Amino acid sequence: MGIIMRVFVAIDLPKDAKEKLKNVKMVHAKFHRYPAENLHLTLKFIGEVSDELLEQIKEQLDTINFSSFPLSFKALGHFHPHRRGTPIWMGVENNEELMKLQAKIEEVLQDLELKMDKMKFTPHLTLGRMERGTSEDEVEEFIQTLHIPEFSIETKEFILFHSHSTKNGVEYLPLETF
């Protein structure tokens, strides 16, 4: 079967956007902020795959015809709490090109034997998580204190990442850029 890797497809943010977000004050005793270098927009979480399957994934993703498009990030929100806490996110303005790209990724990976999640795609940038057990009111109050400026990026590529746990947290290593 070969080496097993945990992988996902995402749009990485340019350094200047990560720097802007890194400089935004987001402080709360129960909030665990993600490192700026890890910020990305997940297009498809694939999960654990063998190196053989990884090569097939790369081949399939390489068939996607892709043209750059702008993406605008605005509005803050949160998902429902789950076992790891409540994710706090920045939303993406409705974008037909983004939705088409994500659908195409799903389509080309469909024939491979993957155990991908079946969740509906909700484009967002996860900024961090509130601790498990934090009340919804407290989450909402925290979001109201955040003043994150809206920003736009030009999406020129998408990336297949390897999610790798280290003693210092999770690292996302780019495997292939499309």
Per-residue pLDDT reduced to its tens digit, 18-50: 999 999 999 999 999 999 999 999 999 999 999
Q: What are phi and psi of 68, to 5 degrees?
A: -65, 155
Distance CA(150)–CA(142), nearest Å, equals 18
- The mean per-residue pLDDT over the stretch 57-74 comes to 97
Nearest to 29 by CA among 128, 170, 166: 128
4-177 maps to which CATH number?
Answer: 3.90.1140.10
* 118 has pLDDT over 80: no
> In the prediction, which pLDDT does 144 show?
96
Angle at 56 between CA 122 and CA 121, to 5 degrees: 5
* 6 has pLDDT over 90: yes
- The mean per-residue pLDDT over the stretch 98-121 comes to 90
> In the prediction, which pLDDT does 2 show?
74
Most confident range (mean pLDDT) of 54-63, 104-113, 117-126 is: 54-63
Phi-psi region of 139 (alpha: psi -120 to 50; beta: other; left: phi over 0): alpha
Tally of residues, the chain: 178
Angle at 27 between CA 21 and CA 30, to 5 degrees: 120
What are the structure tokens assigned to 111, written together?
Answer: 């024939």
The rounded mean pLDDT for the chain is 94
How does residue 107 score in pLDDT terms, banded at 50, 70 and 90? very high
* 1 has pLDDT over 70: no
User: Distances in Å between the alpha carbon of 15 and those of 92, 100, 157, 166?
Assistant: 18, 25, 14, 22
Q: Answer yes or no: pTM beyond 0.85.
A: yes
What are the structure tokens assigned to 142, written together?
Answer: 């925290």
* 119 has pLDDT over 90: no
Domain residue ranges of the chain, discontinuous segments joined by +: 4-177
How does residue 111 score in pLDDT terms, banded at 50, 70 and 90? confident
How does residue 81 score in pLDDT terms, banded at 50, 70 and 90? confident
pLDDT tens for each residue of 128-167: 999 999 999 999 999 999 999 999 999 999 999 999 999 8
